[in-house]
Amino acid sequence: MKNRGKTEHIDDIKTFQPAIWKSLFQALDDNPHAIFLIDQNLHILALNTSAVHFSSLMNDTAVAAGNVFLDAFPPMAHTQLLRAIQPGLQGEISSLDFEFSTDRGLISFNLTFSPLKPAEGQVTSILCVVAEKNQPNLRPSPIPVHQDPLDAQLSGRITSLEETNRHLRLEIEKQLESETALQASETFFRQNFQSLPDPTLIWVKDPEGEIRLAAANRAAGAFTGSRVQELTGLTLEDFYSHALQFIGLVQRAFSADDTRHIELLFTSQLVRGEKWVLCDFIRLSDQYVLNILRDITSEKDRQKIDEDTRNQIELLRQAMTAFTSVLNLEQVLTNILEYLQKLIPHDRAILFLLEGANLVVRATSGFTEGDDLLDMEIPAQNSQFEAINRNRLPIFLANAKEYRPFEALGPLNCGKSWLGVPLLGHGQVLGYLSIYAQTPGKYENEHSRLAEIFSNEASIAIENARLFQQVQQLAVTDELSGYYNRRYFYELVELELARSRRYKHPVSLLMIDLDHFKAVNDRYGHATGDRVLINICNQIRQAVRESDIPGRHGGEEFVLLLPETPFERAIEVAERLCRMIEAHRVVLNGIEISITISIGVAAIGPDCKDSDTLFQQADLAMYQAKLAGRNQVSAAAKPQAR
């Protein structure tokens, strides 16, 4: 960088010293470090808000101006403090590392003692800066907490002390303006200016109007990763070449009002990466501007983490509300993937549910219509599911494409970064979420933690939806046969007839009766009779189409609705069923039982336009089949063309 090592404006330093000290005292309350100004007798001349809170932390009692400095510390530390202060009283900078046990655990502090003295005199005061090593912020958390009466009383006292200290600092400022004894020499200024904890710059404007850096302290050097000598003399444009908004604020401070406590993002060739700084631009005179840069990057990072955490909690709350607001399984699965995308960004996600010995893809996101894997089945015995089932915790891979055991999954292994999340219900695996991103190494422990919390709520929602589905199924099905019960079957018939009338499609109905079934119950008992009935019902179900609708009409009578089936085709179906059951043997406990059925057939037509007529004609046809000797099919009159 050009213009390094320019003149440091040594002759002008005495000019801006008093104004700088005044400005720094005005900014005391904004410094996160505890700062004490003490006299030769160790009495406190001034202290900032952080110092008040520090003393409360040490002794449960806040100190104020006029108190003895040692009162801010526990008695056990007084000997160490006196030893550390002694060099300061003799004009030397000294420091002390101090540890203190609190309810937060063991806290480590560093105390720096810097002597303040006039050019031809003795030390008049000492500046003590206390910095916590673990976290440089001695102020209480801004998050509101409940206060008990003792806390409230202490808080009120601290507020009162802070007000007292502000008045004291005003008095000190007046003295800084009037008393030459407090206007330190160049040596004094350099020594104490350099010990300030925040990066501090002093800009000077020459007669030609060019602004250069007249002075910078050690903290500024550490902040920029440079030596102080390298910074001094840089032009304003060079120093802030990558942070142009700072240039305007310095220029404005020379000609107009100060700018204080503004948060800006600082980028520079001198600084690696970006940093957030809390800035002050304070006009000292027509020639000088004081520029304080407080690094608040760690505070911003904590705020970002807190904000992300709040957003995650809110998303989880919304997800739980969405999960519990519906009981339809398909909608629940849709909600799960919708909120998963908001909580854990990904390119593709697959939700598997365990059904018997297979895993079935029941929901997906990120796929196109042409490559969607919905309803695809794979054996539960696969490397991905076995890893999840074994751990019962979320697991992730940086690059699943390079993990050889996953190669057998084919299109189901559809990304690089992979996060597998089990869905657990009462200790059993219901299925799992398979989450993919095309960027390798995207998922970490934080994603795993969030996924586990999310999956717990998702699993409960899936279980509830399944239970509701089962309850609904029980409400409309016959417990013994598994067929629809009479009430619900009649509702389905009405729906199908309405569709038939609208689209002019044929519909037929079979009325089925098990021949001489009472004899089976009388001979073998009702328990065996029930098993025979179940067996016959299963045979019929397997022999018809999935679109055909079976129902139990009562006792050993059953009905079978055949949508899109004309009268002649319905007779063929009935004949096939009749012959199949005649040839079938039910074997129970070594006993072979034969059964036959009688079937009546009816269909919608000009003489049969409603469900009541349809059932009457089918029932009458079945009665005729039984009168004719059973084990046969009888059809109602053939419907005329509509």
pLDDT digits (tens, 9 = 90+) for 369-427: 878 889 999 998 888 988 888 888 999 999 999 998 898 899 999 999 999 999 998 87
Question: DSSP string of 552-621?
Answer: EEETTEEEEEEET--HHHHHHHHHHHHHHHHH-EEEETTEEEE--EEEEEEE-BTTB-SHHHHHHHHHHH
Query: Does the pLDDT value for residue 20 go beyond 80?
Result: no
Provide φ and ψ at 434, rounded to 5°.
-115, 110
Q: Which amino acid is at 343?
A: L
**Nearest Cα to 430, choosing from 469, 395, 489, 380?**
380
Per-residue pLDDT of 492-524, as tens digits, reads 999 999 999 999 999 999 999 999 999 999 999
Q: What percent of the chain has pLDDT over 70?
A: 83
Within this chain, domains 32-179 and 198-295 share the same CATH topology: yes
Q: Are 349 and 341 in contact, with CB atoms under 8 Å apart?
A: yes
From residue 113, how far is each of 20, 35, 96, 176, 513 by CA, in Å?
Answer: 20, 10, 8, 21, 104
Distances (CA, A) of 450 to 274, 298, 395: 28, 23, 12
Domain limits, the chain: 32-179, 198-295, 322-474, 486-635
Do 165 and 47 contact (CB within 8 A), yes or no?
yes
Answer yes or no: is pLDDT of 285 > 90: no
Q: How confident is the model at residue 110 (pLDDT cuts 50, 70, 90)?
A: confident
Assigned token pair, 452: 């586990």
C-alpha–C-alpha distance, residues 532 and 536, integer Å: 6
pLDDT reported for residue 28:
60
pLDDT at 211 over 90: yes
Q: What integer pLDDT is reported at residue 7 of this predicted model? A: 42
Active-site hit among 8, 132, 457, 556: 556
pLDDT at 617 over 90: yes
Question: Alpha-carbon distance 192 to 112, whole Å?
Answer: 11
pLDDT, mean of residues 199-225 = 90
pLDDT, mean of residues 350-358:
92
Sequence-distant (≥ 6) Cβ neighbours of residue 437 within 8 angstroms: 345, 346, 347, 415, 416, 417, 443
What integer pLDDT is reported at residue 147 of this predicted model?
A: 43
Average pLDDT, the chain: 83
> Domain 32-179 class?
alpha beta
Report the chain's C-alpha Rg in angstroms: 43
pLDDT tens for 162-200 read 454 455 445 545 544 544 444 444 555 666 677 788 899
Element spanning 72, H or E: none
* Lowest mean per-residue pLDDT among 314-328, 398-412, 577-591: 314-328
Amino acid 611: pLDDT: 94
pLDDT at 623: 96
Please report the pLDDT score of residue 494 as a whole number: 95
Residue 151 has what pLDDT?
Answer: 45
Q: What is the pLDDT of residues 452-478, one digit of tens each?
A: 999 999 999 999 998 888 888 888 999
User: Long-range contacts: 452-457, Cβ < 8 Å, 24+?
Assistant: 452/393, 452/394, 452/421, 453/316, 454/316, 454/319, 454/339, 454/340, 454/343, 454/344, 454/421, 455/394, 455/421, 455/422, 455/423, 455/424, 456/424, 457/316, 457/319, 457/320, 457/323
Topology of the domain comprising 322-474: Beta-Lactamase (3.30.450)
Poorest-pLDDT segment among 14-28, 185-199, 315-329: 14-28
Write down the pLDDT at residue 134. Answer: 59
The pLDDT of residue 268 is above 60? yes
Average pLDDT over residues 328-350: 92
For the chain, give the number of residues. 642
Q: Which of 279-288, 353-362, 471-480 has the highest mean pLDDT?
A: 353-362
Distance (Å, whole) CA 441 – CA 399? 7
**CATH class for the domain made up of 198-295:** alpha beta
**pLDDT of 559 over the 70 cut:** yes
Report the pLDDT value the prediction gives residue 581, as an integer from 0 to 100.
97
Quote the tokens at residue 625: 């089949």
Q: Give pTM, 2 decimals.
A: 0.51
Q: Is the pLDDT of residue 120 over 60?
A: no
> What is the pLDDT averaged over residues 135-157?
44
Check residue 567 and give its pLDDT: 95
Residue 228 has pLDDT above 60, yes or no: yes
Encoded amino acid at 431, one letter? G
- Give yes or no: 572 in active site: no
Q: Write the CA distances from 146 to 313, 481, 520, integer angstroms.
A: 22, 63, 77
User: Residue 632: which region, alpha, beta or left (left: phi > 0; alpha: psi -120 to 50)?
Assistant: beta
In this predicted structure, what is the pLDDT of residue 413?
A: 92
Which of 4-13, 296-305, 340-349 has the least mean pLDDT? 4-13
Q: What angle do CA 376, 381, 384 make, to 5 degrees?
A: 75
> Quick one: pLDDT at residue 607?
87
Cα 584 to Cα 469: distance, rounded to the nearest angstrom: 34
CATH T-level fold of 486-635: Alpha-Beta Plaits (3.30.70)
Task: Provide the residue type at 102 as one letter.
Answer: T
Beta strands at 597-603 and 105-116: parallel, antiparallel or unpaired = unpaired
First to last CA, the chain: 96
* pLDDT at residue 136 greater than cutoff 70: no
| The pLDDT of residue 149 | 45
Q: Above 90 in pLDDT, residue 545?
A: yes
**Residues 146-166: what's their mean pLDDT?**
46
Collapsing DSSP to helix, strand or coil, 3 comes out as coil
Is-contact 199 27, C-beta < 8 A? no
Structural tokens at position 262: 């503004």
Nearest in space to 602 (alpha carbons), one of 556, 641, 561: 561
Q: ∠ at Cα 84 (81, 85), nearest 5°?
A: 85
Once rounded to an integer, what is the mean pLDDT over residues 70-86?
90
Residue 110 · residue 131 · CB < 8 Å: yes
Question: What is the DSSP secondary-structure string of 168-207?
Answer: HHHHHHHHHHH-GGGS--HHHHHHHHTT-SS-EEEEEE-T
Mean of the pLDDT values across residues 534-562?
95
For residue 44, report the phi and psi dihedrals to the nearest 5 degrees.
Answer: -80, 120
Q: What are phi and psi of 266, to 5 degrees?
A: -105, 125
CA atoms within 13 A on the CB side of 412: 27
